[in-house]
């Protein structure tokens, strides 16, 4: 389970790292900065929880899926810049956060074995929902030319 959370966070960090060299929209740049900050913090917190509870981050089908999908999406994003990048990045962020919410509901919450891990995943869900709402706002800003 820790591997899924780390893979998901590192996936979004990898997308955000592409933004400075390719994005045109201020909304995209601002969003990517927030993703970098938030997912870095989340990685630190989950690593601390795992260490305190003796949990190792063992890869599994879901964590590997996050990595595989992110590699394919990064390849697509790397080929774009400007408005095309902005639009594709926004759509990707919406899809990514929807997939992560699905993983939280169907895998992470039902399988959180320790109280501290369950609390973390419970905290994670509204944060991911907020990121999704922000991504949708970003897409609207891009569509309106802001």
Distance between CA atoms of residues 29 and 66, nearest Å: 23
pLDDT tens, the chain, 146 aa long: 899 999 999 999 999 999 999 999 999 999 999 999 999 999 999 999 999 999 999 999 989 988 888 899 999 999 999 999 999 999 999 999 999 999 999 999 999 989 999 999 999 999 999 999 999 999 999 998 86
* Per-residue DSSP letter, 108: I
Domain that holds residue 94: 2-143
Q: What is the domain count for the chain?
A: 1
CATH number for position 70: 1.20.1260.10
Is the CB of residue 36 less than 8 Å from the CB of residue 16? yes
What's the predicted TM-score (pTM) here? 0.92
């Amino acid at each position: 389970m820790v591997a899924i959370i780390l893979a998901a966070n590192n996936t979004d960090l990898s997308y955000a790292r592409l933004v400075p060299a390719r994005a045109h929209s201020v909304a995209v740049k601002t969003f990517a900065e927030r993703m970098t900050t938030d997912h870095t913090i989340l990685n630190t917190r989950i690593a601390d929880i795992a260490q305190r509870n003796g949990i190792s981050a063992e890869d599994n089908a879901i964590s590997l899926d996050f990595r595989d999908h992110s590699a394919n999406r990064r390849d697509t994003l790397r080929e774009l810049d400007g408005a095309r990048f902005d639009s594709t990045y926004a759509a990707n962020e919406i899809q990514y956060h929807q997939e992560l919410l699905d993983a939280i509901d169907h895998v992470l919450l039902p399988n959180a074995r320790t109280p501290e891990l369950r609390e973390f995943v419970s905290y994670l869900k509204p944060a991911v929902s907020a990121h999704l709402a922000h991504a949708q706002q970003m897409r609207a800003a891009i569509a309106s030319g802001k």
